[in-house]
Structure 1
Amino acid sequence: MNGTVREVTPEVDAEAVLAGAQFIDTFRVEIGAATVNAREACTRMVLHGPRWIDALTRLRNILVTPFGLKKSGEGAPAPGGLIGLFPVLSETPERLVAGFDDSHLDFRIVVEVAGEAVLRHVTLTTLVRTNNLLGRTYLALITPFHKLVARSMMGRLAEPAR
């Protein structure tokens, strides 16, 4: 099923990535024999995603301003720099962890590349820990959009590199 994005059971150590996470989901796409590391996969998903995702991100930044929440890409410098709006917290060729902590919620994404020869796949896991009522409300509102965005971003990995 090369190119089909599937929701799968999370396999990350949630406590090690984001202790106390209340939300976790994972999507996987088969990429065949494509040779890509975790940073390249994350970059293709984030920087070469559908334009409507950029529009949603801009809308989100406008809507959260009155609440004093961080806008995408704001905050302390990340050890691995930024990929789009995501601060890279740690990485190896096979695994990249990005995300940040905010007053309402903390989130992480984990991009993993695994498999051999023609059976390679990329997995995207999202973890969220809410910190207050605003965080819980925000998570409830964005979850349907998050799933659509994650699937669309992952679908980009199945397409030929641009």
Structure 2
Amino acid sequence: MKDNKNYDYTDEFSSMVHSARFINAAELSGLFFSAPKWITIWMKFRNVMVKPLGLKKERDLWDLVHIESENIATVCKNDKHLDLEIAFITESTECDSQRISVSTKVRFHNSLGKCYFAIIKPFHNLICKILLQRAKNNIEKSFYR
């Protein structure tokens, strides 16, 4: 991942999961992109709302996943208003435990990018936390079967 000082916004959400099986970054990203229906509906609503502003329709980010290693998968999306980088990170910590994380970095190119992100930031944070918890629950549910 690139140095944070080149970004206008960064965040990282992490959780410890208990699983004897190692969860790789590709699997973690897949868990994030199998979102609940309400998030899918929210993204469709977002696409309708930003069209008049000239922002690109959000295409399926799953198509943009790049597996960098067993522990890191990234999504990079750039347009004239902002650059977005999402990283899915897995780290072994101790016996039967692992840290899973999602990190977001954003660089604004203009005031429309700043305005857009200011509006969606609370939803972004909520969705990241919900999807991280959902991924954790799915991993642990499969561990305890």
Contact 1:61 1:72 in 2 (8 A): yes
Task: Describe the SS at the equivalent of 2:58.
Answer: coil
Counterpart-to-counterpart distance in 2, 1:41 and 1:60:
24
Contact 2:25 2:67 in 1 (8 A): no
Counterpart-to-counterpart distance in 1, 2:43 and 2:26:
21
Corresponding residue for residue 24 of structure 2: 37
1:2-58: per-residue Cα shift (whole Å, max 9, x none)? xxxxxxxxxx5435xxx72100000001111242110110111112x2221111100
Contact 1:50 1:152 in 2 (8 A): no
Counterpart-to-counterpart distance in 1, 2:107 and 2:64:
17
The count of residues paired between Structure 1 and Structure 2 equals 138
Counterpart-to-counterpart distance in 2, 1:57 and 1:151:
16
Which of 46, 62, 69 is equivalent to 1:60? 46
Task: Give 1:12-161 correspondences, 5 Å limit.
Answer: 13-15=2-4, 20-33=6-19, 34-47=21-34, 49-73=35-59, 83=62, 87-116=64-93, 117-160=95-138
TM-score by length of 1: 0.77
Structure with greater proportional helix content: 2
Deviation at 1:90, TM superposition (A): 4.7
Q: Which runs of 5+ in 1 are unaligned?
A: 1-11, 75-81
Deviation at 1:137, TM superposition (A): 0.3
Q: Matched residues, percent identical? A: 28
Deviation at 1:97, TM superposition (A): 1.1
Counterpart-to-counterpart distance in 2, 1:144 and 1:68:
22
TM-score by length of 2: 0.85
User: Which of 96-105 and 64-73 deviates more?
Assistant: 64-73
User: Which of 36-45 and 62-71 deviates more?
Assistant: 62-71
Q: Which runs of 5+ in 2 are unaligned?
A: none
Q: Specify the code of the residue in structure 2 equivalent to 1:155.
A: Q
Contact 2:7 2:107 in 1 (8 A): yes
